[in-house]
Amino acid sequence: MSGNAEFFDEMRQPDGSVRSAYSNYCEWYDEQDPKLLRRKHSEAETNFRKTGITFNVYGEDEAEERLIPFDMVPRVIDAREWRRLTRGIEQRVSALNAFMHDLYHRQEIVRAGRLPERLLRNNEAWLPNMVGFTPPGGVYTHIVGIDLVRTGPDEFYVLEDNARTPSGVSYMLENRETMMAMFPELFLRCQVEQVSDYPRRLAKSLAACAPDCAEDKPVVAVLTPGIYNSAYFEHAFLADQMGAELVEGSDLRVVDGRVAMRTTCGYKAVDVIYRRVDDEFLDPLTFNSDSVLGVPGIMDVYRSGGVTIANAPGTGVCDDKAIYSFMPEIVEFYTGEKPLLPNVETWRCAEEDSLKYVLDNLAELVVKEVHGSGGYGMLVGPASTKKQIEEFRHKIVENPENYIAQPTLSLSTCPVFTKKGLAPRHVDLRPFVLVSPDKIDITPGGLTRVALEKGSLVVNSSQGGGTKDTWVLKD
């Protein structure tokens, strides 16, 4: 797992022959006129510009919006590999949900000595308001994004968990739609599982989590911070595709113990709110009193069983990288099984031995802030100057609890389209998971992010990464 120069090529065997998952695609590609492909590539970019898909996927600076490049060579995963991944993802998401329930109730995992209590005590994402409360259906993590990396034929690792408000699903859907519009004949040759029904599955999964007071057809709304939010396109897109209302905090108020939205016929009760507003801004009476993005009193309605909030407030604990480092213990504690999908090896700088190892090996490691996201606040040792490494060393020494470190992974590569033909670039994968009281539903595919710069291991959109369509082949 160290950063050697040999990377697993998902399309080609070491001898240069094509792996079976890519055989139909490569046959098709070899038959195409390179000029036509170049034109199609440029058309795809124009299409994305016209559609207005220019939000930042992973929580970067919201003042800066840009087009995230689309690469038209699909990432292909065969049915056997996908079955193995889904088993591991399902196990992990089950454990995350059980973990959230335990954290806000008896904290058995802390009592058993498997998780240090300080990780909750010092964690801003842990909300005392959720203690003793169980959300409708017992679901905390309604929508989860599990970030995976691959390092070998059968080696997949979880890089991080996204249980607060995972984004990027509109890219998964638009990437597929663009591919089908550009190359319809390709889908006749390659039998690919569909992803286009994700909005329908999302609507169904959210409705299944409605509170007891909901009527037969629960009313679902998407709560957005508004048009200036970097992911607004996705909020509007999903509401439209689900047939749900898109609302801002100012459209909602508490009426007779329910959360209700303004309509032309007065206020109408809402049963499920898929919120894309952070905990801190959700309820000015409970959290940040200056917030104009949320709904005054929504937490009281929530705790009395009058509305479902997805994802549940307080789920941000699962996104914490210090908690991530305990996921093998968490999975085993709640499922009684060893994790099917391992973590990346992680050193916690809060622990003396780990801190010494990290400081001695900074030039080889990736160091991340415990609460960081979007590729910011991190050090990629092998790609950093001596000055940058020394500056980061001081930060770690000043506040070791704020950092974890991991080896520089040999991320697998997939081909991208360049002017000179296909070239390998490093990728990761974010599958999207829907959780309802009786089901964990994993969409076959997900968002593949790709480092478009030759040799770069940073796939984040904020750092120049792009996206590509992810194909899961049918059996």
For residue 43, the tally of other CB atoms under 10 A from its CB is 14
> CA–CA separation, 195 vs 446, rounded Å?
8
Radius of gyration in angstroms for the set of CA atoms belonging to the chain, rounded to a whole number? 22
With a cut of 80, say whether residue 6 has pLDDT above it. no
> CA–CA separation, 19 vs 472, rounded Å?
14
Average pLDDT over residues 238-261: 96
Provide the percentage of residues in the chain whose pLDDT is more than 90: 78
- Asked whether the beta carbons of 25 and 431 are under 8 A apart, the reply is no
- Asked whether the beta carbons of 468 and 73 are under 8 A apart, the reply is yes
At 69, is the pLDDT very low, low, confident or very high (cuts 50, 70, 90)?
Answer: confident
Q: Which tens digit of pLDDT belongs to each residue from 298-343?
A: 999 999 999 999 999 999 999 999 999 999 999 999 999 999 999 9
Residue 343: strand pairing partners: 158
- Asked whether the beta carbons of 427 and 449 are under 8 A apart, the reply is yes
At 346, is the pLDDT very low, low, confident or very high (cuts 50, 70, 90)?
Answer: very high
At 4, is the pLDDT very low, low, confident or very high (cuts 50, 70, 90)?
Answer: very low
Give the per-residue pLDDT at 184. 95
What are the start-end ranges of the H helices in 56-183? Answer: 79-103, 108-111, 118-121, 169-182
Give the per-residue pLDDT at 375. 59
Average pLDDT over residues 3-7: 58
Tracing tokens 């990780």 back to the chain, one arrives at: 119
Residue 148: strand pairing partners: 158, 429
Give the per-residue pLDDT at 78. 95
Between 43 and 200, whose confidence is greater? 200
For residue 290, the tally of other CB atoms under 10 A from its CB is 9
> CA–CA separation, 323 vs 191, rounded Å?
39
- Asked whether the beta carbons of 206 and 274 are under 8 A apart, the reply is yes
What are the start-end ranges of the H helices in 192-246? Answer: 198-207, 232-242
Average pLDDT over residues 73-77: 97
Task: Give the domains, in start order, of the chain with CATH numbers.
Answer: 20-343+409-472 (no CATH), 347-407 (3.30.1490.270)
Q: Which tens digit of pLDDT belongs to each residue from 291-300?
A: 999 999 999 9
Which stretch of 255-264, 322-331, 446-455 has the lowest confidence by average pLDDT? 446-455
> CA–CA separation, 443 vs 472, rounded Å?
10
Alpha-carbon dihedral angle through residues 3, 8, 10, 14, given to the nearest 10 degrees: 150
At 49, is the pLDDT very low, low, confident or very high (cuts 50, 70, 90)?
Answer: confident
Phi and psi of 156, rounded to 5°?
A: -115, 140
412: amino acid identity, one letter: S
> CA–CA separation, 8 vs 385, rounded Å?
27
Give the per-residue pLDDT at 162. 94
Give the per-residue pLDDT at 373. 62
With a cut of 80, say whether residue 454 has pLDDT above it. yes
Give the per-residue pLDDT at 60. 41
Tracing tokens 């390709």 back to the chain, one arrives at: 186
Give the per-residue pLDDT at 465. 84
> CA–CA separation, 87 vs 82, rounded Å?
9
